[in-house]
């Protein structure tokens, strides 16, 4: 598959929606809220079941009562706080998760159309090349890549990546950790211009964490107003 082929696929709204994988922060937040609520409900049930010898009448009766279980020992205060969260957090998290999912699905079509228009007006498809760095994204470590730009010849881009990767490989552990922290803080998880890392790097090159397993990724840089952020999108294989 070539960049020209992918560009052709992305030239229409249906093709764009089919070829590009975009994660909505609203959807993720909604799912996390519901998952956290399920966890709290499970812990509440487990605590009540353990304390009542799994008497389901008592579990049902005291399910929304935080102080029904008495904790003792040096960690009793902390246990009571967690108990309070297990009981009452789902009351907030479940409606919040449902609202976020409703917002996501009700605005998905409009957001997708806006993303397609932004890509058509200022976006491009570039090649992903590993830099030798891994950024922390939650509990996972994700490879940091350079993404090419149509204005930069492939030979120049490959040479830039090779030179930067060699520099990364020459760093000791302390310097590498410091560099990765700086890259992550600058915005590598979402995307940023390589010039932010070093004025010697071409500004047209994008730095981001790797998107999917494809050689290519779609990049939508911030708009002229500077209010939006980089969007680096996975290309489905």
Q: Of 28-32, 70-74, 105-109, which has the strongest mean pLDDT? A: 28-32
* Domain shared by 227 and 145, yes or no: yes
The pLDDT score that the predictor gives to residue 16 is 85
Average pLDDT over residues 13-23: 82
For residue 34, give the nearest of 42, 23, 46, 22 by alpha carbon: 42
Average pLDDT over residues 210-230: 86
Distance from C-alpha of 237 to C-alpha of 217, rounded to nearest angstrom = 11
* Domain shared by 141 and 91, yes or no: no
What total number of domains does the chain contain?
Answer: 2
- Helix (H) / strand (E) element for 37: namely helix 25-51
* Domain shared by 132 and 227, yes or no: yes
* Torsion angles phi and psi, residue 59, rounded to 5: -60, -45
The pLDDT score that the predictor gives to residue 19 is 84
* Domain shared by 150 and 224, yes or no: yes
The pLDDT score that the predictor gives to residue 151 is 94
Q: Is position 21 within any domain?
A: no
Q: Is position 10 within any domain?
A: no
Residue 218 token pair: 């779609």
- Helix (H) / strand (E) element for 137: namely strand 124-137
Measured at the alpha carbon of residue 225, what is the angle toward residues 128 and 152, in degrees to the nearest 5?
Answer: 30
> In percent, how much of the chain has pLDDT > 90?
46
For residue 12, give the nearest of 89, 152, 112, 154 by alpha carbon: 112
The pLDDT score that the predictor gives to residue 128 is 95
Q: pLDDT for 142-189, tens place per residue?
A: 999 999 999 999 999 999 999 999 999 999 999 999 999 888 888 888
Q: Is position 90 within any domain?
A: yes
Average pLDDT over residues 184-203: 90
Which residue matches tokens 């799912």? 31
- Helix (H) / strand (E) element for 147: namely strand 140-147
Higher pLDDT pick, 127 / 223: 127
Higher pLDDT pick, 149 / 9: 149
- State the average pLDDT for the chain: 88
CB atoms inside a 10 Å sphere around CB 6:
20
* Domain shared by 179 and 79, yes or no: no
Residue 198 token pair: 């070093």
pLDDT at 237 over 80: no
* Domain shared by 167 and 217, yes or no: yes
Residue-number span of the structural domain to which 154 is assigned = 125-235
Average pLDDT over residues 16-38: 86
* Torsion angles phi and psi, residue 21, rounded to 5: -105, 115
pLDDT at 65 over 70: yes
Residue 24 token pair: 């909505």
The pLDDT score that the predictor gives to residue 78 is 84
Distance from C-alpha of 210 to C-alpha of 197, rounded to nearest angstrom = 17
Distance from C-alpha of 175 to C-alpha of 159, rounded to nearest angstrom = 23
The pLDDT score that the predictor gives to residue 74 is 62
The pLDDT score that the predictor gives to residue 75 is 66
**206-209 and 124-137 as β-strands: parallel, antiparallel, unpaired?**
unpaired
Between the two ends of the chain, the Cα-to-Cα distance in Å is: 9
Q: pLDDT for 87-140, tens place per residue?
A: 999 999 999 999 988 887 877 777 778 888 889 999 999 999 999 999 888 778
């Amino acid at each position: 598959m070539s960049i020209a082929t992918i560009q052709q696929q992305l030239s229409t709204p249906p093709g764009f929606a089919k070829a590009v994988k975009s994660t909505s922060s609203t959807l993720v937040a909604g799912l996390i809220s519901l998952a956290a609520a399920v966890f709290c409900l499970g812990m509440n049930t487990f605590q009540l079941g353990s304390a009542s010898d799994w008497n389901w009448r008592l579990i049902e009766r005291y399910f929304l009562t935080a102080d029904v279980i008495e904790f003792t020992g040096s960690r009793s205060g902390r246990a009571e706080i967690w108990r309070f969260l297990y009981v009452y957090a789902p009351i907030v998290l479940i409606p919040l998760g449902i609202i976020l999912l409703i917002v996501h699905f009700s605005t998905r079509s409009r957001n997708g159309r806006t993303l397609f228009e932004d890509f058509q007006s200022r976006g491009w498809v570039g090649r992903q090349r590993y830099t030798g760095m891994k950024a922390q994204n939650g509990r996972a470590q994700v490879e940091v890549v350079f993404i090419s730009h149509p204005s930069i010849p492939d030979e120049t881009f490959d040479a830039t990546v090779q030179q930067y990767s060699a520099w990364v490989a020459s760093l000791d552990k302390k310097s590498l950790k410091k560099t990765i922290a700086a890259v992550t803080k600058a915005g590598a998880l979402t995307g940023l211009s390589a010039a932010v890392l070093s004025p010697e790097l071409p500004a047209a090159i994008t730095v981001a964490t790797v998107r999917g397993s494809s050689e290519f990724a779609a990049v939508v840089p911030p708009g002229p107003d500077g209010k939006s952020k980089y969007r680096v999108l996975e290309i489905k294989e």
